Amino acid sequence: MGAFQWLMKRITKIFGHSTNGLFYTLLYREILKEVNEITNNEEESLIILREIGKKAALESCERHSNIFKFMPGNPKKVLDYFEVLWVVVFGRELDEYNYEEIHKEGSKYNDYVLKISKCPICAGYGDNIEDTFEFNKLNDNKSEGLACGLCGMLESVANYILKIKRNDYRIQIIEQDCITKGGNCLQFICKIHDYNEWKELMASNIQQKKVLKKFFKESIEEEEIVQETKLDIFDKLQDFISIDKLDEYLNEPLETIKDKVRDFIKDKLNMDPEHFFDYFRNYEDDMIRIIGYLGTHLLNEYGGLLEKFLKNEWFAKIFGYIFKQLKEMTLLFIPLDVIRDYNELLVNFLKGLAPIEMVENVKKFTGKDTITYIFEGAQIALENLGIDFSELKENVWEELKAERENGLVSSETSTIDRTREKVPQIISIIQQFLMIINDILTLPIRVLISESHYGLKTAINSVISEEEGLYGSIRERFDNIFDQIQEIRK
Amino acid sequence: MNFSRKELIETDATMNQMRNAVYVLVRLMEKNKIQNSKERLRKMGQNIARTYINYWKPTEVVTLANLKDVITTIYQKILNSTVSIEINEVDKLLNVQDYRCALCKYHYDDLEIAGCEVLLGLVSEYVTLISNESSESSSVFLEPYEIVESRAYGNKKCLQVFKYKIRKEG
């Protein structure tokens, strides 16, 4: 699984409210039954259920639009990331599935058929007397199956991503085979249409439009693509940094990344890199602070997750303590050679991009200076994002003690118990973060050694395997952190 | 071989879209002049409980002594919610406060029905089904009473109220 898929799956699972899978499936069944109470027509009910799925997913997408800004904006890639779409919509892993690409003559994109061997929506349908929606009453063989609502959700999310990425293609997802209806698997066909084709397709579906108008009492039209003229810096950055390209970046050597930075500065800022960096000449310390500041804000721009995370008072405090500890411990425990490696990495990065005089000035910084400036910049950014450093105690243990003594936590037994239950998870999160920091500290020397020959990925992985290397180790630790956060959120 | 419903109990699913879907359904009901949409939502919850209980049962007996624990377990295992519960023995009411209701999160100006009406039906039916099967004379039976507060109404929490009665009291 690529880094992007892994990251998206973990993030969406953490920030969604999850319930038991059976409750989800039964609620879905009940919605269909209620729709059928209104329509008294099974075929019309499935059309309405699909529309309910579409509307429900669109509402979610609009509420969390920032997350989708960093999803891939190419229709084929959206389908490549179907597994992620499934997790976004359904909140659970896609168990076993396979793809088939069907060549479409004269079209830019082919059709895709997806076969999913296990469908949670169909699970056990017909085993209980409350399963009263009768699929045998369906006469139209073009009717979809039980997962049509889910299909509507998937289609809505896929098209929302394309819309927000200003792509003028749209994806149509149709349920072709349904286990409840007697099929062997859940089968979707995904067709990619250009926007005009899509509009024609929507207009030609008279039966569907009639049903939707009859019951929703409104005509349901896809809104026109409005090409936004005002692009913010992060819209521009998406062309350069996109989390779906994480794997690509990891495969590229430092020189290639420098080339990309050079091209980016030229294309987007219309400046020569040397001219750009010249602005910071004699203010190199501020430039390094800005790296810390912007780095932190850039992290937050991936869906505003950091800011959302820090809105929670507890998480903000935990993060604040980790940051404080990191700031103090870095200089105490990390060998100066390691810090020098980092400095050398920065100097190597600036060589060829920045004026020689500036590179010479940066060379004069000790490793300690560089680290201090980066932390100063990052701290300002974290204050902007919600950590009140002035309120933090000397260390996390005093914080835990104080919370219990000063009566901030409710005296109700269950609340105290719940708070206590969370302490092991909080400690575990702190531990995992500290281990990640240790892992990362070994990175620069690897990068320096491998930069001229191999990609960053070589530096990040061990000679044994990706799973056992630094990348695998960091990913495992983040998996643990995500698990602990999920536990706390329960 | 597809999943069984028993297997689904071991899994989690994200509710965001399904929660929204409940409100789209309520709008659909209103547009189609369904008068008793509150009761319809409760009925949905009751149907869910009738199926669910075939695959999982928190206990064999529900009495006033374990009522709070049973309700807490149902909310935790099915809905992933941690609730606080108060019993009002004078009016025979059970108040459940849920700060992270699975079916209510956002305030909808255009609706006057909370999604957690479904939960009122689900939880009351679950307890009633357990007590129906039990021969214990002090078994408790629950009925949906009302949603006093809901995040869907703009409140900070959902306050779901159930009416209870004890078998021996008739």
3-state helix/strand/coil string of A322-353: HHHHHHHHHHHHCCHHHHHHHHHHHHHHHECC
pLDDT at A444 over 70: no
Smallest CA–CA distance, residue B169 to chain A, in Å, is: 31
What is the structure's pLDDT at A18? 83
Interface touch B8/A20, C-beta < 8 Å? yes
Smallest CA–CA distance, residue B149 to chain A, in Å, is: 20
Closest by Cβ to A124, choosing from B5, B14, B34:
B5
Walk across the sheet containing B83-88 and list its strands: B83-88, B93-98, B158-166, B140-149
Which of B6, B14, B83 would you mutate first to test chain A, the one with the most A CBs within 10 A? B14
Q: Is A22 on the interface with B (CB under 8 A)?
A: yes
What is the structure's pLDDT at A352? 80
| Chain B residues whose beta carbon lies within 8 Å of the beta carbon of residue A59 | 20
Interface confidence, given as ipTM, is: 0.97
Beta-carbon count within 10 A of B158 CB? 29
For B34, phi and psi rounded to 5 degrees?
A: -80, 115
The Cα A25–Cα A420 span in angstroms is: 33
pLDDT at A448 over 70: no
Q: Is B73 on the interface with A (CB under 8 A)?
A: no
Average pLDDT, stretch A38-57?
Answer: 95
Quickly list H helices, A206-353.
206-216, 233-240, 246-250, 254-269, 273-278, 284-301, 305-311, 313-333, 336-350
A&B contacts, CB < 8 Å: 178
pLDDT at A154 over 70: yes
Q: Which residue has the higher pLDDT, A455 or A28?
A: A28
Beta strands in chain B (DSSP E): 12-14, 83-88, 93-98, 140-149, 158-166
Q: Is B82 on the interface with A (CB under 8 A)?
A: yes
Lowest mean pLDDT among A91-95, A190-194, A248-252: A248-252
Interface touch B8/A128, C-beta < 8 Å? no
* Amino acid type, A126: G
Q: Is B83 on the interface with A (CB under 8 A)?
A: no
| Chain A residues whose beta carbon lies within 8 Å of the beta carbon of residue B105 | 17
Which chain A residue lies closest to B75 (C-alpha atoms)? Answer: A19
Interface touch A17/B17, C-beta < 8 Å? no
Identify any residues that bridge with B85 across adjacent strands, giving them in sequence order: B96
* Helices vs. strands in chain A: H and E counts, helices first: 24, 5
Closest by Cβ to B12, choosing from A63, A91, A412:
A91
Interface of A with B in 50-69 (CB under 8 A): 52-53, 55-57, 59-60, 63
Closest by Cβ to B84, choosing from A30, A129, A414:
A414
Interface touch B21/A31, C-beta < 8 Å? yes
Interface of B with A in 111-130 (CB under 8 A): 118
Q: Is A355 on the interface with B (CB under 8 A)?
A: no
Q: Which residue has the higher pLDDT, A213 or A296?
A: A213
Q: Is A388 left (phi over 0), alpha (psi -120 to 50) or beta?
A: beta
| Chain A residues whose beta carbon lies within 8 Å of the beta carbon of residue B3 | 118-120, 123-124
Q: Is A153 on the interface with B (CB under 8 A)?
A: yes
Lowest mean pLDDT among A42-46, A87-91, A381-385, B84-88: A87-91
User: By the 8 A CB rule, do A453 and A253 touch?
Assistant: yes
pLDDT at A410 over 70: no
**Residue A218 burial by CB count (10 A; 0-12/13-18/19+): exposed, middle or buried?**
exposed
Q: What is the dihedral of CA B24, B29, B32, B37, to 10 degrees?
A: -160
Helix (H) or strand (E) holding A490: none
Interface touch B55/A90, C-beta < 8 Å? no
pLDDT in tens, A279-310: 777 778 877 887 777 777 777 765 667 787 78
Average pLDDT value for chain A: 76
Name residue, tokens 């005089």. A357
Radius of gyration of chain B (CA): 16
What is the structure's pLDDT at A397? 59
User: By the 8 A CB rule, do A71 and A81 touch?
Assistant: yes
Look at the alpha carbons of B113, B115, B117, B121 in this order and tell me if their dihedral is positive or negative: positive
Hey, is B93 helix, strand or coil? Answer: strand
What is the structure's pLDDT at A223? 56
Which chain B residue lies closest to A53 (C-alpha atoms)? Answer: B21
Average pLDDT, stretch A47-58?
Answer: 95
pLDDT at A406 over 50: no
Closest by Cβ to B2, choosing from A31, A179, A415:
A179
Q: Is A230 on the interface with B (CB under 8 A)?
A: no
pLDDT in tens, A215-234: 998 766 655 544 444 444 44
DSSP label at A75?
A: H
Smallest CA–CA distance, residue B81 to chain A, in Å, is: 7
What is the structure's pLDDT at B19? 95
Task: Look up residue A103 and give its two tokens.
Answer: 């060549």
> What residues of chain B score a pLDDT lower than 50?
none
The Cα A379–Cα A293 span in angstroms is: 7
Smallest CA–CA distance, residue A20 to chain B, in Å, is: 5
| Chain B residues whose beta carbon lies within 8 Å of the beta carbon of residue A92 | 11-14
Nearest one of A37, A419, A80, A153 to B33, comparing CA atoms: A37
Identify any residues that bridge with A186 across adjacent strands, giving them in sequence order: A116
Smallest CA–CA distance, residue B118 to chain A, in Å, is: 9
Name residue, tokens 């009910």. A45
pLDDT at A252 over 60: no
Average pLDDT, stretch A140-165?
Answer: 89
Interface touch A216/B50, C-beta < 8 Å? no
Smallest CA–CA distance, residue B91 to chain A, in Å, is: 23
Which of A13, A25, A26 would you mutate first to test chain B, the one with the most B CBs within 10 A? A26
For A342, phi and psi rounded to 5 degrees?
A: -65, -45
User: By the 8 A CB rule, do A2 and A245 touch?
Assistant: no
DSSP label at B106?
A: S
Proportion of chain A above pLDDT 70, given as a percent:
68
Interface touch B28/A215, C-beta < 8 Å? yes
User: By the 8 A CB rule, do A448 and A341 touch?
Assistant: yes
**Residue A117 burial by CB count (10 A; 0-12/13-18/19+): exposed, middle or buried?**
middle
| Chain A residues whose beta carbon lies within 8 Å of the beta carbon of residue B53 | none
Helix (H) or strand (E) holding B42: helix B37-52
The Cα A410–Cα A350 span in angstroms is: 53
User: By the 8 A CB rule, do A278 and A358 touch?
Assistant: yes
pLDDT at A449 over 60: no
Closest by Cβ to A57, choosing from B17, B31, B40:
B17
Which chain B residue lies closest to A87 (C-alpha atoms)? Answer: B14
What is the structure's pLDDT at A215? 93
Smallest CA–CA distance, residue A295 to chain B, in Å, is: 31
Show contacts of A206-212: CB within 8 Å, 24+ apart: A207/A47, A208/A47, A211/A39, A211/A44, A211/A47, A211/A48, A212/A47, A212/A48, A212/A51
Hey, is A155 helix, strand or coil? Answer: helix
Walk across the sheet containing A111-116 and list its strands: A97-102, A111-116, A186-194, A169-177
Q: Give the C-alpha distances (Å, rounded to integers) separating A279 from A68, A275, A284, A297, A360.
A: 34, 7, 10, 21, 15
Interface touch A22/B52, C-beta < 8 Å? yes
Closest by Cβ to B21, choosing from A56, A179, A414:
A56
User: By the 8 A CB rule, do A251 and A457 touch?
Assistant: yes
Nearest one of A378, A375, A377 to A280, comparing CA atoms: A377
